[in-house]
């Protein structure tokens, strides 16, 4: 995966979506490819490891219930949202603030488009 391309896609996606507080991209084992967050206190490696675990467990649940492959995991929290997307090789975790509540559909589309651009 081209790291320069990943950096540019993340920068463009975050610039176009004001409610995004960060994006972390990692491989399927949790190794960070690139991450950008507006808070320096967030450890990208921690986000990556947890996103991979959540995606893996959610994938097992989805296939165990005969619902097919995993497309997305959304986590709603007290002060924001986390959207985890992935394919076989790459996992993307988008972090959004509470202000994203009304625009979650658009945010999901932007993150999916970003992931597709990165892997193509």
Judge whether 112 lies within some domain. Answer: no
Share above pLDDT 90 across residues of the chain, in percent, rounded to a whole number? 83
- On the CB side of 113, CA atoms within 13 Å amount to 12
Structure pTM? Answer: 0.92
Judge whether 120 lies within some domain. Answer: no
Q: What is the pLDDT of residues 53-108, one digit of tens each?
A: 999 999 999 999 999 888 899 999 999 999 999 877 899 999 999 999 999 999 99
Judge whether 42 lies within some domain. Answer: yes
Euclidean distance between CA atoms 75 and 101, whole angstroms: 12
User: What pLDDT is stored for residue 40 in this prediction?
Assistant: 77
When pLDDT is cut at 50, 70 and 90, the band that residue 116 belongs to is: very high
Judge whether 97 lies within some domain. Answer: yes
Judge whether 7 lies within some domain. Answer: yes
Count of domains for the chain: 1
Mean pLDDT of all residues belonging to the chain: 93
- Could you list the residue range(s) of the whole structural domain that residue 41 is in? 3-103
The CATH number that applies at residue 57 is 3.30.450.30
Judge whether 63 lies within some domain. Answer: yes
Judge whether 118 lies within some domain. Answer: no
């Amino acid at each position: 995966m081209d790291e320069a391309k990943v950096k540019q896609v993340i920068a463009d996606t975050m610039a176009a979506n004001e409610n995004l507080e960060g994006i972390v991209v990692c491989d399927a084992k949790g190794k960070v490819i690139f991450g950008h967050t507006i808070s320096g206190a967030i450890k990208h490696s921690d986000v990556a490891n947890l996103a991979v675990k959540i995606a893996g467990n959610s994938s097992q649940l989805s296939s165990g219930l005969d619902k097919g492959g995993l497309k997305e995991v959304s986590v709603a929290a007290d002060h924001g949202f986390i959207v985890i997307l992935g394919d076989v090789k790459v996992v993307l975790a988008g972090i959004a603030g509470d202000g994203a509540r009304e625009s979650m559909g658009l945010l999901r589309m932007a993150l999916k488009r970003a992931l597709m651009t990165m892997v193509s």
